[in-house]
Structure 1
Amino acid sequence: MAIISAEQVGNRLNDWRIAIRKHDVQSANAMYTELKQLLQEMEENQEVLTYYSLLEGKYKLMIYERRGKTLKEQTELDCPSKTNDLIEYYFYLYKALYASYNRDYASAIGLFKIAEKKLQNIPDEIEVAEFHTKIANLYMLLRQSLISLHYIQNAVDIFKSHEGYERRLASAFVISAANYMDIGDFTRAENYYKKALHIADSLNDRFLASQLFHNISILYAEAGESKKCIDALEQALSDENYLSSCYFHHTMFMLVKELLSIDERTQALYYFELVNQKHESEKCPIYTAKLNLLYHLYFTEDMSQKAQACFEEISILKELKDAEGACELSALAAKHFEDLGAIHQAYLFLKEAYHMNHPIFEWRNSNEKNEFIVHRFNHCRFRTNSVFQFVK
């Protein structure tokens, strides 16, 4: 068997890197298969192998973002020797992205800062745009909207000036929309979503369109437009490939929650059954807990059993590091129990929501329960759990 030079494989890895950056799933998949074979025939070269391992990590993250394929535990890589600026940059970028995927946001910020310093040695506009997109996504998740908007506008300007990066531009529009939603500018947020949907239509990319319909449904839920929210979620679920992705669980949870919010219980029960059938073949612990909580909240009659079951599911969410989900559903439970006249249970869930949203918050005195009763609960102050898709 002829030995292939490391330089030849390195050049092909560069082609793969560009396909990954463009979110060109078809080309990236084909090259991944090709490169695994080439590496078996390549002369020994540790730098090329490290480059491949880092690109493989980026590729798998891209497939998760673009096709909803769940990530498995990643192999821990050693820090590369200071010989190649791009490999060094990718090492810290990938570690930052994987930390963010695992909801370890404190570590992710530190790693992004190291990667940003390494990026200064790489004269590549698209790499700059990609970095700005990913760190903007992190700050968006952390509700640092103005910082996120600063980064994402830089990415938008760069992607607009390069052909072939339409999908990345759509990703940037989603981050912009999410930030404007956070600061209450729903009109501008909707405009950005519509721009992204126009890109998906022009590319005839149904999976991308489904992700976008899911994302815009979050905006409609925030704005209290349940019909538009439900219509968008049903459009998201119209693509067969989307139904077989991990994003199915995200969208189904949103759909069931919105149906229950307008007391469409019969239709919600129909979707509960669909999810249960899906769970038989593919478990998703976070969304199992969320849907179980919704079921107990709306269909368990005994008030004490209802509250206990809901608290158990919230504990599971906290163990799974879904603090936002635990906070949102605690707030939802508080509002629900208040509507039922169960003020004591409502108080406990509202307290839980505040502790999740403000970990250092302490109740000042025993009269706060009475202050809560007078205050009346306002669920709108808690943002709907977003689970924005593909924007990393």
Structure 2
Amino acid sequence: MAVEEKGIPYELVATKLNYYYTAIKNEWKNVEDIHDEVQKELDLMEENQDVLLYFSLLEFRHQLMLEYKYPKSARGVTEKAEDIEERYRALAEAGRINSLLEYYYNFFTGMFHFKQGELTEALSFYRVAEKYLDQVEGDNIEIEKAEFYFKLSEVYYHMKQTYFSMNYAKRAYRIFCAAPRTPEGKPTYVERKIQCQFVISGNWLDSLRSKEALEHAKNALRDAQELDGTEKNAEHLQRKALFNLGICYNQMEELDVAVQYFLKSLEIPNADEEYMS
């Protein structure tokens, strides 16, 4: 019976994969259910190695997200990275890698190396991915660009390449701010906007521009405090925003104010889940 049912058009499954990727990026609560639905459809899909690699890449991205959020329980990311590279090489040697797969392979592999602390390797993969960014299609291409710019801003920040980090963080921030609201009128991508402000503020601090850093730190705190209490990472973001304000005032040598913000930061319980972007 299973053999007779085999043959779901791969175009339909590819559309579902795009939905799965959206769920990963937005950390939807039902992302695991969506993954399982896609897996079932893949089992019934007519064979297409491009779609199978795309699914493997998205699973890799999913695992990276889980490792960022649950570092103690996440396993198998390194093994998945090795499997992805093997699949990618096989298709590349056969001349069957399209622009979309090139982009996602290099983008996600760059994220993996960044998580490993291998900044030069991460940047090398990001630079290759950037060559294919404009060729990625879809309704959310601007948000995809913003995600990519934000990741670049992170690696440049850790490399202390202030100008490049600031440039990419601002580009990402503008796109996230322009994103349409939900049907209920709520702003979207608030967490990403806060994280962009963190990067911008940090770059200003590295440039010894305390007042500019303080402005962005205040904006980040304002946005973090407006997060719904049920939002994931709300407490973490508020805690970090308060701590960043303390750093700003410390650099400005307003030590009493700095201590107040550090203490306010400590009043927010440290989440059991270690969060990273």
- Normalising by structure 1, we get a TM-score of 0.56
Tell me, which stretches of 5 or more residues in structure 2 are unaligned?
Answer: 181-187
Matching residue of 1:231: 264
Quote how far apart the aligned CAs of 1:158 are: 1.0
Amino acid across the alignment from 1:209? E
Q: For residues 307-327 of structure 1, what are the alpha-carbon distances to aligned partners after superposition, in whole Å with 9 as ceiling and x for unaligned?
A: xxxxxxxxxxxxxxxxxxxxx
Matching residue of 2:154: 137
Answer yes or no: is the 8 Å Cα contact 1:129–1:154 preserved in 2. Answer: yes
Matching residue of 2:121: 107
Quote how far apart the aligned CAs of 1:226 are: 3.3
Bigger shift: residues 35-44 or 127-136: 35-44
- Normalising by structure 2, we get a TM-score of 0.77
CA–CA separation in structure 1 for the residues paired with 2:79 and 2:243: 32
CA–CA separation in structure 1 for the residues paired with 2:75 and 2:198: 22
Answer yes or no: is the 8 Å Cα contact 1:58–1:94 preserved in 2. Answer: yes
Q: For the structure 1 residues 212 and 65, does the alpha-carbon distance in structure 2 shift closer, same or farther, using more than 3 Å as the test?
A: farther
- Identity within the alignment, %: 23
Tell me which of 127, 151, 154 is aligned to 2:168.
Answer: 151
Tell me, which stretches of 5 or more residues in structure 1 are unaligned?
Answer: 248-388
Matching residue of 2:223: 196
Tell me which of 8, 12, 15 is aligned to 2:19.
Answer: 15
| Residue aligned with 2:233, SS | helix
Matching residue of 1:54: 57
| Residue aligned with 1:39, SS | helix
Matching residue of 1:350: none
Q: For the structure 1 residues 62 and 207, does the alpha-carbon distance in structure 2 shift closer, same or farther, using more than 3 Å as the test?
A: same
Q: For the structure 1 residues 61 and 219, does the alpha-carbon distance in structure 2 shift closer, same or farther, using more than 3 Å as the test?
A: farther
Q: For residues 39-69 of structure 1, what are the alpha-carbon distances to aligned partners after superposition, in whole Å with 9 as ceiling and x for unaligned?
A: 3333322111100111111122223445656
User: Are positions 1:213 and 2:222 aligned together?
Assistant: no
Quote how far apart the aligned CAs of 1:235 are: 0.6
| Residue aligned with 2:268, SS | helix
Amino acid across the alignment from 1:231? K
Bigger shift: residues 150-159 or 66-75: 66-75
Answer yes or no: is the 8 Å Cα contact 1:129–1:158 preserved in 2. Answer: yes
Matching residue of 2:185: none
Quote how far apart the aligned CAs of 1:89 are: 0.3
Answer yes or no: is the 8 Å Cα contact 1:152–1:176 preserved in 2. Answer: yes
Matches of residues 71-82 of structure 1 in structure 2 within 5 Å?
A: 72=76, 73-75=78-80, 76=82, 77-78=84-85, 79=88, 80-81=91-92, 82=96
Amino acid across the alignment from 2:164? I
Matching residue of 2:189: 165
Find the structure with the greater CA-based Rg: 1
Answer yes or no: is the 8 Å Cα contact 2:156–2:165 preserved in 1. Answer: yes
Aligned residues, how many? 242
